[in-house]
Amino acid sequence: MIAYVLRRLAGMVPTLFIISLLIFFIIELPPGDYLTNQISQLQAQGEAASVAKLEFLRREFALDRPFLERYGVWVGIWPGQHGFDGILQGNWGWSFEFQKPVGDVVSGSLLLTVILNFATILFVYIVSFPIGIYSATRQYSWGDYGFTFLGYLGLAVPNFLLGLILLFLMNEWFGVSVGGLMAPRFMDEPMSFDKLMSILSHLVVPTIVIGTAGTAAMIRRLRANLLDELNRQYVTTARAKGLKERNLVLKYPLRVALNPFIADIGNLIPSLVSGSVIVSVVLNLPTVGPILLGALQSQDQYLAGFILLFVAVLTLIGMLISDLLLAALDPRIRLGQEAPA
Amino acid sequence: MAVLDVRNLVVEYRIDGVNRAVDGISFQIPEGKTVAIVGESGSGKSTIGQAVMGLLPSVATIPEGEILFTDPVDQSTTDLVGLPRDGDLMRKIRGNRIAMIFQEPMTSLSPLHTIGDQIGEAGRLHQNMDRKTARDATREMLRLVQFPNPDHALDTYPFELSGGLRQRAMIAMAMMCRPALVIADEPTTALDVTIQAEILKLLRDVQAEIGMGIMLVTHDFGVVANMADQVVVVYQGRVMEKGPSKRIFEAPQHPYLKALLHAVPTFDMTERLVPIRPIEPKLSAFGAPCEVKRGEPLIEVDNLVKRFQLKKGGFLSKPRTMTAVDQVSFTVNAGECLGIVGESGSGKTTAALAVMRAFQPSSGHIRIREGDGWRDIATLEGEDLLAYRRRIQLVFQDPFSSLNPRMSINEVIGEPLVIHNVGTPESRKQHVRDLMELVGLDPKMLRRYPHSLSGGQRQRVGIARALALRPDILVCDEPVSALDVSVQAQVLNLLSDLQRELSLTYLFVSHNLAVVDYLATRIAVMCRGRLVELGETRAVIDNAQHPYTKALLTAVPDANLHRPLDFAALSAGRASDPAAWPEPYRLLPGETPTMVERFPGHFVCAPGEVPAIKDAA
């Protein structure tokens, strides 16, 4: 088991390296960079002094060097203007657009993104599991049809529309202020119980909105998986032992049907980040989604690169967690054996 | 005193109308005795077992009849039909007083729970054992079913065990609460013969220890002859005949039972099998026979080795390979039927498929006679390869999955002709009709689709397809093992007629020695990828030399009360371990399996005798 964990961890290093190279390559694909665009603009206006400053910045951030060197300086495996000073050393880069270090730009929204992601995944799993089990064990019942209908509705309704409707209802019924992360009056106040409650109540709508599609898909899949397993011979064996139907379903087929869902944890994360951009804009949430979009548009490459890399790291961690959970739950994976003939 | 008294039981399935699977069946199971329910597929024999256990699917109902279960402990009698299937009363009996052993040991245990957990569960459910007591009781049960290392076995998962050990675990699970009745539904059908014999012995030993009655549901008369005190023969949901097994085997009354007993191949059969529904193949002139003269070598397999990669080598892990066929050499003579016999994993199918050039061998050569010379089939390319494919055709094991459900019978049989561009569309049409008559099928069926044909009919379509190109050689991979006894006889007779009339050469792969004995001219016995014995059929069967062949022969249950299995001679799984064979047969891993000619034409793998006789196959 320890060897397995170590092997998985060791496998992450080259993966991360290749991902970072790809990210850097892709965000540099558009011609020019933020500074050259600025320089040509300033030159057109004849402001030589500013141009000199920007030229200095270009050298400072190694933008005048060849691609691989630029990449090396960014990651921190190639000496830049000030020696080794890149992501590996904890310097996350400079945002040209905001004129601030990338860390300062994203620090608040990163935390919120992680919290929102976590809440959404939790929501997806908590809602879809009981419904999926119910639908599978009572196939073709009214309840099954009802949940199926709701599920397709959840898949079909555009997220932003659902978001607007829910915002309106929350405001009408519970008096929660529209949009944002908290009620406006808490904006500049220090953290307090009321402020926390306000944040939590504002998290409800985005969690549901971002989670519905995933929930609906997961209910369908759990239902199908569990239906497959319910007809297996080992379920009959357990029934022949005299187990109660309820205990039986929870102990045997559900355990087996669980695997694809655990394997999915890692895959959910990137889709939640990229899928939540529109929702974040509509609901006026300061997550990294809109920031990433802006950074890509203005070629603020270090900001965009860092956010993409951050999502990649989250994904890899998610994958690692799901792999470890799978190994813990499924002895066939843990012991890594084929069945003897 | 009867543990189980089934009176006039009727079970109906309600899918597209009402279908009576069991139609007024009555029988009794005396305390501590074994009653066999025998029948072909679709006879309703498994449904009876499910009805007793309360495990019928929800579409099945019991409109009539009683299932009276009398517990020998307190002599209380319950009518199981009246109990709600998922009610507490039924659950108290199920798994506790009546237990069940299933057919497929591979799928009937949960892959994610240790066998200790799964076996002990019955004790925790019914006898209020705590985890520790249940664990101790489980260990005791595993010892009873003769697990090699019960302590260790508690924490193993099913996929770590062989099929035989899984079935032992299954039996331990059924015995956990010392039931009064065990329903064994084809308990050995999925197992190899040597393991089957051990499991049968175990069932008898356990019965002697615990004293439960056994309801043995099976289609195999060999198993019945060795296990049952009484026999109930069912056909289409009705009892055809029932009685003590002595009377059933020695003085059968009902024509169906008589016919069934005649259709079972046994050793030393000289007469022809009599199928229940005979067919009349039209063996009229059918293409030119093979140009190689009968009895002359046609195919030469020389030191064939095939390795499969189980796991690709990757980051920090080594690749794992498995040698499916290890230095096997034999020849196939024109016009003969060479039977390749072995248990699962012996490499018999791999060897046969290598001859078909389904893949390239890892090393070694396979040569085919071409005119006066020999041609290595590995060198065949393009046109030559197509011509070779025309000469050698395959009959598959499973007639259900080997026919495309979306093609009519006409298309199925005609497809080889289209692929190889033989004849004109008109001549093909006639040819396909001839083929149908050749295998005794009505040409009117040509427009049907496979799903509307029975298993035997489908297998005959498969044979017709294989014969479409007028091959010299037919590779038959377990062609009858998926078929019922009555149909099996029909197909075996067809194959033997075709061979004689069309002077075909067969490579006949089977795990069933009696079937091979019926059809083969020579037999090759394989074990763990090695050829261990090769010779004339009679010589191998009557004068077996190799310990593995002997073990195989003693393990086949014969449908004959006077030839019971010799349970004392069973070797507890050591027969198929080459390293455990006695000298001079012992084969350590990596050693060359050298064949020695003991008698003219009768070869045995005995590396220990090599210095004495240099001549190998």
Write the burial class of residue A31 (CB in 10 Å: 0-12 exposed, 13-18 middle, 19+ buried).
exposed
Q: Is B188 in a helix, a strand, or coil? A: coil
Residue B179 has pLDDT above 90, yes or no: yes
Output the six-digit token pair for B428: 């093909």
Closest approach of B182 to chain A, Cα-based (Å): 11
CB B460 within 8 A of CB B275: no
Closest approach of B279 to chain A, Cα-based (Å): 37
Taking contacts as CB-CB distances below 8 angstroms, the residues of chain A near B170 are: 237
pLDDT digits (tens, 9 = 90+) for B68-111: 999 988 888 999 998 888 888 898 899 999 999 998 888 899 98
Please compute the mean of the pLDDT values over residues B485-500 and round it to a whole number: 86
Residue A338 has pLDDT above 50, yes or no: no
CATH of the domain at A261: 1.10.3720.10
Chains A & B: contacts with CB separation below 8 Å: 94
Residue with tokens 């187990």: A243
- Higher per-residue pLDDT: A292 or B316: A292
Output the six-digit token pair for A190: 């220090």
Taking contacts as CB-CB distances below 8 angstroms, the residues of chain B near A335 are: 157, 160
In B186-319 the beta strands, taken as DSSP E runs, fall at: 213-218, 230-235, 238-244, 297-311
Q: What is the spatial distance between Cα B126 and Cα B171, in angstroms, rounded to a whole number?
A: 17
pLDDT band per the 50, 70, 90 thresholds, residue B230:
very high
B308 touches chain A (CB under 8 A): no
Q: Which of B94, B310, B316 sits opposite A240 (nearest CB)?
A: B94
Please judge whether A242 and B316 are an interchain contact, meaning their C-beta atoms are less than 8 angstroms apart.
no
Give me the percent of chain B exceeding a pLDDT of 70: 95
Nearest CA among B457, B372, B470, B481 for reference residue B422: B470
Q: Is residue A87 part of a domain?
A: no
CB B180 within 8 A of CB B126: no
Output the six-digit token pair for B208: 């002697």
Q: What is the spatial distance between Cα A178 and Cα A159, in angstroms, rounded to a whole number?
A: 16
In chain A the beta strands, taken as DSSP E runs, fall at: 94-95, 100-101
A11 touches chain B (CB under 8 A): yes
CB B31 within 8 A of CB B180: yes
Q: What is the spatial distance between Cα B475 and Cα B355, in angstroms, rounded to a whole number?
A: 9
Residue B614 has pLDDT above 50, yes or no: no
Nearest CA among B507, B523, B43, B16 for reference residue B241: B43
A233: nearest CA partner in chain B: B108
B316 touches chain A (CB under 8 A): yes
The ipTM assigned to this model is 0.78
Query: Cα-flanking dihedrals φ and ψ of residue A220, to 5°?
Result: -60, -45
B246 touches chain A (CB under 8 A): no
Output the six-digit token pair for B191: 């197992």
Please compute the mean of the pLDDT values over residues B34-55 and round it to a whole number: 90
How big is the CA angle at A252 (ends A248 and A254), to the nearest 5 degrees?
100
Q: Is B368 in a helix, a strand, or coil? A: strand
Q: Is residue A98 part of a domain?
A: no
To the nearest 10°, report the CA torsion of B119, B123, B125, B130: -110
Q: How many domains does chain A have?
A: 1
Closest approach of B520 to chain A, Cα-based (Å): 27
Give me the pLDDT at residue B286, please: 62
Relative orientation angle of helices A48-60 and A34-45, to the nearest 10 degrees: 170
Please judge whether A233 and B104 are an interchain contact, meaning their C-beta atoms are less than 8 angstroms apart.
yes
Residue with tokens 């003969």: B336
Asked whether the bond before A260 is cis by omega within 30 degrees of 0, the reply is: no
Closest approach of A238 to chain B, Cα-based (Å): 8
Q: What is the spatial distance between Cα A256 and Cα B1, in angstroms, rounded to a whole number?
A: 44
Please compute the mean of the pLDDT values over residues B188-214 and round it to a whole number: 88
A247: nearest CA partner in chain B: B125
Q: Is residue A148 part of a domain?
A: yes
Residue B495 has pLDDT above 80, yes or no: yes
User: Any bridge partners for residue B508, and if so which?
Assistant: B339, B476
Taking contacts as CB-CB distances below 8 angstroms, the residues of chain A near B311 are: 338
Q: Is A245 in a helix, a strand, or coil? A: helix
Give me the pLDDT at residue A275, please: 65
Q: Is residue A196 part of a domain?
A: yes
In B202-354 the beta strands, taken as DSSP E runs, fall at: 213-218, 230-235, 238-244, 297-311, 320-333, 337-341
pLDDT band per the 50, 70, 90 thresholds, residue A341:
very low
DSSP character for B575?
G
Residue with tokens 């049809």: A145
> Strand B505-510 relative to strand B320-333: parallel, antiparallel, unpaired?
unpaired
Residue B6 has pLDDT above 90, yes or no: yes
pLDDT digits (tens, 9 = 90+) for A118-171: 888 888 889 988 999 999 988 888 989 998 888 888 788 888 888 888 888 888
Domain extent at residue A177 = 117-300+308-335
A230: nearest CA partner in chain B: B110
Q: Which domains, ranges and CATH numbers included, belong to chain B?
A: 2-262 (3.40.50.300), 297-544 (3.40.50.300)
Please compute the mean of the pLDDT values over residues A286-307 and round it to a whole number: 84
Give whichever of A245-259, A291-305, B231-245, B278-292 has the largest mean pLDDT: B231-245
CB A305 within 8 A of CB A71: no
CB A309 within 8 A of CB A76: no
Relative orientation angle of helices A301-329 and A102-137, to the nearest 10 degrees: 40
Output the six-digit token pair for B80: 């199981």
A40 touches chain B (CB under 8 A): no
Q: Is residue A233 part of a domain?
A: yes
Sheet of B18-30: strand order equals B18-30, B2-14, B60-70, B77-79
A237 touches chain B (CB under 8 A): yes
Lowest-pLDDT range, A173-177, B139-143, B298-302, B596-600?
Answer: A173-177
Closest approach of B300 to chain A, Cα-based (Å): 29
Please compute the mean of the pLDDT values over residues B148-175 and round it to a whole number: 89
CB B206 within 8 A of CB B543: no
B99 touches chain A (CB under 8 A): yes
Please compute the mean of the pLDDT values over residues B25-36 and round it to a whole number: 94
CB B578 within 8 A of CB B519: no
> Strand B2-14 relative to strand B18-30: parallel, antiparallel, unpaired?
antiparallel
Write the burial class of residue A189 (CB in 10 Å: 0-12 exposed, 13-18 middle, 19+ buried).
exposed
A338: nearest CA partner in chain B: B159
The rounded radius of gyration (Å) of the Cα atoms in chain A is 25
Residue B316 has pLDDT above 90, yes or no: no
Taking contacts as CB-CB distances below 8 angstroms, the residues of chain A near B112 are: 252, 255-256, 329-332
Listed in sequence order, the residues at least 6 apart from B441 whose beta carbon sits closer than 8 Å to its beta carbon are B279, B457, B460, B461, B464
Listed in sequence order, the residues at least 6 apart from A55 whose beta carbon sits closer than 8 Å to its beta carbon are A39
pLDDT digits (tens, 9 = 90+) for B255-309: 989 888 888 887 767 778 877 777 777 766 566 666 677 778 899 999 999 988 8
Please judge whether A237 and B112 are an interchain contact, meaning their C-beta atoms are less than 8 angstroms apart.
no
Q: Is residue A146 part of a domain?
A: yes
Give me the pLDDT at residue B613, please: 46
Closest approach of B559 to chain A, Cα-based (Å): 28
Taking contacts as CB-CB distances below 8 angstroms, the residues of chain A near B94 are: 239-242
Residue A108 has pLDDT above 60, yes or no: yes
